Chain A
Amino acid sequence: MIKKIFFQSIFFGFLFFKGAFAAESGGMPQLNPEFWISQIFWLILTFGTMYVVLSKFILPKISNNLESRKSQILENIEAAEKQREDSEAKLKEYDEIILKSKSEAKTMFNQTREKVLKDIMAKKEVLDQQIDDEINKAEKEIEVLRVSAPDKINKIAIETSSELLEKLIGSGVNSSSISAIVDDLSKRNGDKYYGN
């Protein structure tokens, strides 16, 4: 039902519009040939003029502008590229210089170190020699002292013991027998204390 009304209204609306057009004018103005020749004439005139001006004057200029801009941009890019390469080369050079000076510094440092070490070694040897000499000297002195020490001790021991005996006993004792005993003792003790 609703569908039927819808289609009918469309149909009547169409009829109404058609009637309105038919009443006011003879359909589409486009199909009225009164001004066709005029339109063709003016179309050819305007379009032709526009085409000639565009193709002869304006489009070559635009194309030229585009080309020159493109080439300029390309040139600039090329120049930038070149400068970049230059700076890269310079950077490389700089790196090389730095590396070279670094290795130079290292060798210099090593050389100096060796030299200093050598000096130190030489001085140390000299010092060692001196120290050894002094030690030897001291040892010799000690040896001399050690050799002479027991005799002196024995002598003192004999003297003190003879004096003690004199005071204890009241008469002199044969010093030779005392010295024999002291010698004997000192030999034993000497083995004990000085033995090496």
Chain B
Amino acid sequence: MAANPMSQFDVYRIGPEIKVGAFDISFTNASLFMIISTVSILLVFNFGSKRNSVLPNKMQLLAELSYTFVAKMISDTAGSKAKPYFAFIFSLFMFVLFCNMFGMIPYTFTVTSHIIVTFILASFIFIGVTIIGFIKHGFGYLKLFVPSGVPAVLLPLIVVIEIISYLSRPISLSVRLFANMMAGHTMMKVFGGFVISLGLVGGWLPLSFSVALTGLEILVAFLQAYVFAILTCIYLNDALNLHH
């Protein structure tokens, strides 16, 4: 198992096989880490909001700093109209961040390194943003595909490009997160394998590399969660404040 750097992404069943109709919804290691992430998020923020003292303790400070961080991110990118969607973007950011961070612990499973998970999240955002856009602007939302100030000759081409770029949003959003997580974890596994195969004599170089990569991957884990959330905000901004 250890030799293959891709085996860390294997999903396997924990417990019995559960089937609803034709669908297999068995409890897997992916489900386990989704539950671990959500439960730790809920615990952290529950303890962070329990007491309200003027001088906050560590948990409260953590919860309030995250709250203001996400709130500022949303108001900076999508304006004040995006306030009703704060809870969703906050949950999204925290879920992706905690899944990424739990994946950094050795022998754990990274939920966000699976294309199906990120794709479901991204397509949910895509569909939701599109629905919000049509509810807010009616068919005027289609003006998103017609940028102002473009010569009439170029318009058909531009509209086609805009539609393709709009439709590729969920794909780019999901593949960005999934590929970053997968590539980082694979690379760490490969360098870890080199440490073993080169032994005491030559293993020090890949080991130091591995240490540096761990730091980099923790940064990437945070950054990708941030990018995921901020791109959601930008898409939401397009739907809420139509100007093109």
Residue A155 CB within 8 A of the other chain = no
B95 touches A47 (CB 8 A): yes
Encoded as 1 (CB less than 8 Å from any A CB) or 0, chain B from 46 to 76 comes to 1011001010000010011001100000000
16 sampled A-B residue pairs with Cβ under 8 A: A20-B3, A29-B10, A30-B178, A35-B28, A37-B24, A39-B11, A39-B116, A40-B116, A42-B27, A42-B35, A43-B111, A47-B121, A50-B38, A54-B94, A55-B88, A68-B52
Is the beta-carbon distance between B34 and A42 smaller than 8 angstroms?
A: yes
Min Cβ gap B117→A in Å is: 6
Whether, in the assembled complex, B23 has its beta carbon less than 8 Å from a beta carbon of chain A, the answer is yes
B116 touches A36 (CB 8 A): yes
Compute how far the CA of A64 lies from the CA of B60 in the bound complex, rounded to whole angstroms.
13
**Bound-complex Cα distance A34 to B9 (A):** 13
CB distance from B121 to the nearest CB of A (A): 7
Bound Cα distance from A39 to B178, whole angstroms: 14
Q: Which A residues touch B146, using CB under 8 A?
A: none
Interface size of A by Cβ–Cβ distance < 8 Å?
41
Query: A66 in the interface, Cβ–Cβ < 8 Å?
Result: yes
Out of B11, B25, B45, B116, name the residue touching A58 (CB < 8 Å).
B45
Give the Cβ gap from B124 to chain A, nearest Cβ, in Å. 9
If A43-B121, A62-B64, A65-B52 touch, whether A38 touches B26 (CB-CB below 8 Å) is yes
Number of interface residues of B (CB under 8 A): 50
B24 x A69 contact (CB < 8 A): no
- Given A28-B6, A43-B121, A59-B67, is A34 in contact with B35 using a C-beta cutoff of 8 Å? no
Tell whether A65 pairs with B34 under 8 Å between CB atoms, given A41-B23, A47-B95, A50-B95. no
A32 nearest CB neighbor, chain B only: B11
Which of B6, B23, B24 contacts A21, CB < 8 Å? Answer: B6
User: Separation in Å of the A51 CB from the closest CB of chain B?
Assistant: 4
